[in-house]
């Protein structure tokens, strides 16, 4: 009954904001499209379709707001006007009652809030679709962390049930749209919903977020360009996360940063370095780098460095992915479009019988106009969109593990444009990528891989004589077994052949005698 009521709410919202007009006009079956046109006749909407879709998501609540945010990153799937409007969805939603937040914290800690924290601020510092954050200070009895200012992230109560309720409707809705809408299969809505499902369940586990933050902090230990808050593990649980409180100015407040004396062009270059370091050195990157999650420190000890927050969404790349991306980026920077096309074929992204020259020409037509331009004059989002549109003719498969990377790259582009419109992203990134590739294929890379493999070889080498003997013995036994099997098969075949010859001989004799009898009788 609850699902039915929720479905009625969704359908009423769809009708109210005219989303049926935006979607059902492209139904695969013309009779159904005509029927819906008759039903909605007479309704007039002043707002464009993208605005109405965004307002509908806001009206349906936090889950749909989060879905709209994630959907806005898939510019390869959406029309530009819809993607632009969904990108306006903010992470600010009304906070839930502070008494409920305190109850959640006390249940997780197993003791009153006053026993652990002092200066606990009941009014949240930030409120998002999944959780909200309160400021507090650890009491003097908290060991090494005594008196330390902390941020307490509290999961919204009932989020698990709300997510499961809405996902139970989104999955069949995506299947229905793919079946009935003309572009349904191309949009891959079922894949988008599956991705959304995974991300949401990851964000609901704050212990997972704490582990992500700890890994990123370890990766950037001693860094002068990026700070990651320290997780206070004794007070963390699946629905409460306690970490070091870090003060900073939101990176979107450009004028405040300029007045404070922050070198904005350097800050923009540092952002590019942070992104490529996470992707190519670590293969583990913060995948939710919108301005609300990025601060800039004004503390004299770390002046002008980034502070990253909210680690619920991270991306992970394999060595193959990193090498493939680096080779592609370098080929783009050198305008070697043939190499880019060849990499697509070698990686299996396109069919082996694809004409490389045709794919090369399509990529050149998209990328060539954007070189030697400042970042203010180009849009990576538009370049990626045109690349996806051009590559669709060649049945290029967009790899799921790179979707978050695409989203993060667009976030980096947005930050770069805000901080330094003259930044040339290509020239800034190229030296870093070239150093990374040389480190992988040069003697330093070989020594590093040898160092990593040495412990394994130190255990394996002494066992080599025994392993070789076992392998040869097993091979000999296998060969003997195979030979015995062949001999038995030959013996059986010989016996069958003899039996067939005897039967043939008897039939032959019988036929000969029968023929003689018939002949002499005649």
Residues designated catalytic: 288
Q: Mention every residue, 6+ apart, whose C-beta is less than 8 A from residue 341.
A: 356, 357, 359, 360, 363
For 482, the enclosing helix (H) or strand (E) is: helix 464-521
Integer CA distances (angstroms), 109 to 36, 195, 237, 242, in order: 54, 32, 8, 11
Secondary structure string (H, E, C) spanning 421-449: CCCCHHHHHHHHHHHHHHHHHCHHHHHHH
Beta bridge partners of 151: 135, 243
Residue ranges in 62-205 assigned as alpha helix (H): 62-72, 80-86, 98-109, 113-116, 159-180, 184-187, 189-203
Query: How crowded is residue 16: how many other Cβ atoms within 10 Å of its Cβ?
Result: 12
**Gap between the Cα atoms of 411 and 117, Å rounded:** 35
Structure tokens at 165: 């309720």
Question: Where do the DSSP E strands lie in 216-331?
Answer: 226-227, 240-244, 249-250, 284-286, 294-296, 306-308, 314-316
Which residues does 328 contact at the CB level (< 8 Å), separation at least 6? 340, 343
For the record, the structure tokens of 280 come out as 């190519």
Across-strand partners of 231?
Answer: 243
> What torsion, rounded to 10 degrees, do the Cα atoms 479, 485, 488, 490 define?
-80
Is residue 138 within 8 A of residue 150, CB to CB? The reply is: yes
């Amino acid at each position: 009954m609850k699902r039915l009521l929720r479905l009625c709410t969704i359908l009423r919202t769809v009708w109210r904001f005219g989303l049926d007009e935006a979607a059902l006009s492209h139904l695969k079956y013309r009779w159904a499209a005509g029927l819906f046109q008759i039903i909605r006749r007479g309704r007039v909407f002043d707002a464009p379709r993208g605005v109405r879709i965004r307002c509908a998501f806001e009206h349906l609540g936090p889950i749909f707001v989060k879905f709209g945010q994630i959907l806005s990153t898939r510019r390869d799937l959406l029309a530009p006007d819809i993607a632009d409007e969904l990108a306006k969805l903010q992470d600010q939603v009304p906070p839930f009652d502070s008494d409920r937040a305190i109850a959640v914290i006390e249940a997780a800690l197993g003791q009153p809030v006053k026993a652990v924290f002092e200066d606990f601020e009941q009014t949240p510092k930030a409120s998002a679709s999944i959780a909200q954050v309160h400021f507090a200070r650890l009491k003097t009895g908290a060991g090494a962390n005594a008196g330390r200012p902390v941020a307490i992230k509290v999961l919204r109560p009932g989020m698990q049930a709300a997510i499961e309720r809405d996902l139970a409707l989104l999955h069949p809705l995506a299947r229905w749209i793919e079946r009935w809408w003309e572009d349904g299969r191309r949009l891959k809505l079922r894949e988008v919903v599956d991705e959304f499902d995974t991300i949401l369940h990851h964000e609901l586990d704050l212990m997972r977020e704490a582990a992500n933050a700890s890994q990123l902090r370890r990766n950037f230990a001693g860094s002068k360009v990026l700070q990651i808050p320290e997780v206070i593990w004794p007070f963390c649980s699946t629905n409460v996360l306690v970490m070091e409180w870090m003060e900073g100015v939101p990176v979107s407040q450009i004028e405040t940063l300029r007045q404070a004396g922050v070198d904005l062009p350097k800050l923009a270059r540092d952002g590019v370095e942070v992104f490529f370091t996470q992707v190519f050195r670590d293969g583990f990157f913060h995948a939710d780098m919108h301005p609300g999650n990025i601060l800039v420190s004004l503390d004299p000890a770390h002046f002008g460095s980034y502070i990253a927050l909210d680690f619920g969404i991270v991306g992970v790349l394999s060595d193959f992915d990193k090498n493939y991306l680096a080779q592609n980026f370098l080929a783009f920077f050198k305008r070697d479009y043939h190499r880019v096309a060849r990499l697509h074929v070698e990686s299996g992204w396109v069919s082996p019988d694809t004409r490389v020259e045709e794919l090369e020409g399509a990529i050149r037509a998209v990328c060539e106009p954007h070189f030697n331009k400042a970042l203010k004059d180009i849009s990576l989002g538009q370049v990626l969109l045109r690349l996806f549109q051009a590559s669709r003719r060649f049945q290029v498969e967009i790899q799921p593990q790179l979707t978050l990377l695409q989203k993060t790259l667009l976030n980096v582009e947005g930050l770069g444009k805000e901080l330094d419109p003259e930044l040339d992203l290509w020239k800034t990134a190229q030296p870093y990528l070239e150093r990374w590739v040389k480190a992988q294929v040069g003697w330093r890379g070989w020594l590093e891989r040898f160092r990593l493999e040495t412990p394994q070889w130190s255990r394996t080498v002494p066992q080599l004589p025994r392993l070789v003997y076992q392998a040869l013995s097993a091979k000999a036994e296998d060969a003997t077994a195979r030979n015995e099997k062949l001999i038995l098969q030959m013996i059986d075949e010989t016996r069958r052949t003899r039996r067939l010859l005897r039967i043939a001989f008897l039939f032959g004799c019988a036929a000969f005698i029968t023929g003689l009898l018939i002949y002499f009788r005649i």
